Amino acid sequence: MSRATRLSDLADLLGAELVGDGSREITGVRQLDSAEQEHLSFLHNPKYVEDARSSRAGAILVADASSLPGRDLLVCPEPYLALAHALDHFHPRESPPPGAHPSAVMAEDVELGEHASVGPLAYVGAGSSIGAGSTIGPGCVLGREVVVGEGTVLHPRVVVEDGCRIGDRCVIHSGTVIGSDGFGFATVDGTHYKVPQIGIVVVEDDVELGSNVCVDRAALGETRIGRGTKVDNLVQIAHNVQIGEACLLVAQVGISGSCKIGHHTVFAGQSGCSGHLKIGDGVVLTARAVAIKDIPDGVMLSGYPGRPHREWLQTNANIQRLGGLRKRVKDLEARLSDLEESKK
């Protein structure tokens, strides 16, 4: 339920500069095109300035007050981040009751931290521990000797296989499987023999994994996702992959086995990399780009096979000119043929 908050109090809460009527009461947050007088909205992208000017919103989060003269504003350097805090204020997450639901199945030696919750029909295996304030949603399955840190949320039907470890303040969305077997087979005379995958997965603090993400356990050692990394839906992370801190992996990315991904690296939608590669810090793979060799720090990669973005743009531009070039060549061939005929 939304709660009315004076705009001046909201400015203090968000660390924003108030421009306009601080006594205005705000009851919630909406988009520019659907907001009414009692709502807060936000302007993050300058392309939507005209939408903001015509919006009925009572107040707008902005970075620059000069773009909206005469409006009640909350001015802050990062409006999008302030929006996140405003949403937390108006729509706080409801914590389930602490303890285990009667229908949950838990081994006798499971350690359940203070205010931690295990939802209906969840299963938690022997030797596992769940940190203080964490939530294990309905239907989740945690294997043996799983560790979940403090303040972490597992949404319904998440599976965490034996021995895997999840840090503090993580969010794992429904359908995700952490610790499934890596795709490892020894092929002899046309027959594929399974190689046992006996490693684990380590998910560090402040990681978010979207729905239906698959993170394979290592064959030996660890598959690791670094602190603060955010992973979108439908991403495959293969065995023994090492992902650095604060990376972004967008929907349908595929990371092949034993790759090492640096810090602050971005994989855009449907991009990926071949196995056993080293991808440097700050690398960006644009949509559908595929790395097939090691990539140094700071490179933007596009296309298949992946190559520097500027080179890829030049190649595409040249491809667009091929039709005209073909016509010119045919015209030249015809003129040359006519010239040769005239000399006979």
- Rounded to whole angstroms, the Cα distance separating 119 from 106 reads 11
- Bin 169: left if φ > 0, else alpha if -120 < ψ < 50, else beta: left
* Annotation marks residue 155 as catalytic: no
β-strands 300-302, 307-308: how paired?
Answer: antiparallel
Cross-sheet strand order for the sheet of 59-62: 17-19, 73-75, 59-62, 39-42, 28-29
Per the CB < 8 A criterion, the answer to whether 136 and 154 are in contact is yes
The DSSP code sequence of 205-231 is TT-EE-TT-EEEPPSSSEEEE-TT-EE
In the chain, the amino acid numbered 120 is P
What sign does the CA torsion over 315, 317, 323, 328 have? negative
Nearest to 251 by CA among 269, 271, 227: 269
- Rounded to whole angstroms, the Cα distance separating 170 from 157 reads 16
- Which of the residues 239, 263, 264, 309 is marked catalytic? 239
Residues in the chain: 344
- Rounded to whole angstroms, the Cα distance separating 240 from 92 reads 37
10 Å CB burial of residue 271 (0-12, 13-18, 19+) is buried
- Which residues have a catalytic role annotated? 239
